Chains A and B, each alone.
Chain A
């Protein structure tokens, strides 16, 4: 999944000379929290609802003056951006490491979109397959070549469509695979997998 699959466009932007009051009203009206700042078609900064609240707080010795302070005075100037062809996980990592809530998306210097934490949550939902009617299997696999193939091969042999397959390391030797499958019969699958020697964590074996 790439940034271009999850980014939003067109992007609501402001100019540097706009007052904080005007910028804040724009955020409220559009129900957003991030405004890229554009000057002559070029991205020169970004301002968030948090920036505006901090700048205009009574606790701020220089504030508050929402009507006389300009966006240019408060905005973040060195903007971290993404490219439409970046993978979503890279955007997630950058946002997490820099502790930022959005990335303007640039292509050949032009602003073509924006991606926020919410968009990444949507991406996560899609990646986990919960948006399709499905059941969930959870299997522990030895972390070595061919184990996932054995699992998916088993499902294919049963004619089961896989909506999503996520795996993550449990420790050095073991990965957990979470599979969303298009079937009501996960118990039957679990039984078959156990017979093939898989360690199935869910659904559990009923002792009766």
Chain B
């Protein structure tokens, strides 16, 4: 089941902002041009009370006021009105519509649906008391809380290039939520967190996993770590459902980060996630989108996700008419095939060192978690 409504595109920080609604417009028009688009389920927007299941009243009050165009003097303390997360009219409702989509996904899972793809959301940086990094409200955590309140154990898997800090901190002390984030190391990259030693607190100890990868990590090293870590953690935790943040900004074309995944890695990752959901979570999996700031790459990665999700064969070339229209609108050439060309970037001289360090990080993480996760 796919969840989407055109009003997702109201979540718009203005022209020039990387978190652009154009991505969704391009994606849905591509799927239509490919002839695979099926009418999605349109979710209702989340209520204020639903947002308050993971956010503070005072944050919500400020988002509401700023959405109405009121001047809020302490807005920056709440992560709003910044260069990354500026305020815009109607922001509260726009964010609640995205939350509503992911929450609808959770409801559908509880109603017996196995696979849900929410074509939006994934706002993993928003924290209890603070908006952050393009993320006003945390749709993922609202959905996760809905699931845990219904008694489910949730494994959250985050493949966005940035650390899923908001989701991690919101559920940091919860035993019934496993968070697992693979990301570019926070030594340099926003938000600066996601170290292996962040493993949870109180009841949540041993239930939060972070694999910080070296800048310039490529497909092979990423997949090696992914295939070692994810089934290991899921096998030990045995969740009832998998919630996946499928950000596409680990792609090598992404302008905000430095991992070097190609579409071929994603073509391996997405089927693996479906396999893992079958093996460890009764087949239940809820996908959201997330980061992804190269229009060219992001749209192809998410089109790939859509095809894998539906078990459709991958197209090779993208439709000519669609390419012509978007190259015209964007004024830039686009990759004409779903996959990246072979060897799309120059050889990375430090490759071996990077692979070695990633292996070491993985070992440290598994060593740290072994006694907590495996009984």
Contacts and interface: CB of A to CB of B under 8 A. Distances in A.
B258 A133 contact: no
B345 A208 contact: yes
A184 interface: yes
Contacts of B257: 187
A188 B190 CA distance: 13
Given A184-B162, A207-B346, A133 B190 contact: yes
A136 B188 contact: yes
Given A133-B125, A183-B83, A188 B192 contact: no
A121 B76 CA distance: 27
Contacts of B121: none
B190 A186 contact: yes
Residue with the greatest number of chain B CB neighbours at <10 A, chosen from A132, A133, A134, A182:
A133
B219 interface: no
A158 B192 CA distance: 21
B83 A160 contact: yes
Interface in B122-156: 125, 132-134
B187 interface: yes
A135 B345 contact: no
Nearest to A130: B192
Contact of B192 (A136, A161, A204): A136
A159 interface: yes
B82 A161 contact: yes
B190 A184 contact: yes
A187 B256 contact: yes
B82 A133 contact: no
B187 A183 contact: no
Nearest to A184: B190
Given A133-B165, A207-B346, A208-B345, A184 B134 contact: yes
A133 B255 contact: no
Contact of B188 (A182, A202, A206): A202
B256 A185 contact: yes
A133 B132 contact: yes
The B interface, classified by DSSP as helix, strand, loop or mixed, is loop
Given A160-B83, A203-B258, A207-B346, A184 B192 contact: no
A208 B345 CA distance: 7
A186 B84 contact: no
A41 B187 CA distance: 46
A176 interface: no
A83 interface: no
B33 interface: no
Interface residues of B, number: 29
B67 interface: no
Interface residues on A, range: 20 to 34
Contacts of A159: 82-83
B76 A183 contact: no
Interface string A111-139: 00000000000000000001011111010
B191 A134 contact: yes
B192 A133 contact: yes
Interface in A192-208: 202-204, 206-208
Nearest to A129: B192
Among A136, A185, A187, the one with the most B-chain Cβ atoms within 10 Å of its Cβ is A185
Nearest to B291: A184
Contact of A183 (B190, B215, B253, B255): B190
B95 to A, nearest CB: 17
A86 B276 CA distance: 57
B18 interface: yes
Contacts of A133: 79, 125, 132-133, 165, 190-193
B135 to A, nearest CB: 10
Nearest to B86: A159
A161 B84 CA distance: 10
Given A188-B255, A203-B258, A180 B192 contact: yes
Nearest to A136: B188
Highest count of chain A CB atoms <10 Å: which of B84, B134, B191, B252: B84
A13 B79 CA distance: 42
Contacts of A134: 190-192
B308 interface: no
Contacts of B252: 208
Contacts of A207: 345-346
A185 B18 contact: yes
Interface in B45-102: 76, 79, 82-84
23 contacts: A133-B79, A133-B133, A133-B192, A135-B188, A135-B191, A136-B187, A138-B188, A158-B83, A180-B192, A183-B84, A183-B190, A184-B84, A184-B256, A185-B18, A185-B84, A186-B188, A187-B255, A188-B255, A203-B188, A203-B189, A203-B215, A203-B258, A208-B344
Given A135-B190, A185-B83, 19 more contacts: A132-B192, A133-B79, A133-B191, A135-B189, A136-B192, A159-B83, A183-B82, A184-B133, A186-B256, A188-B255, A188-B256, A202-B188, A203-B189, A203-B215, A204-B215, A204-B258, A206-B258, A207-B345, A208-B253
9 tightest A-B contacts by CB?
Answer: A133-B191, A135-B190, A159-B83, A184-B190, A136-B188, A208-B345, A133-B132, A183-B84, A134-B192
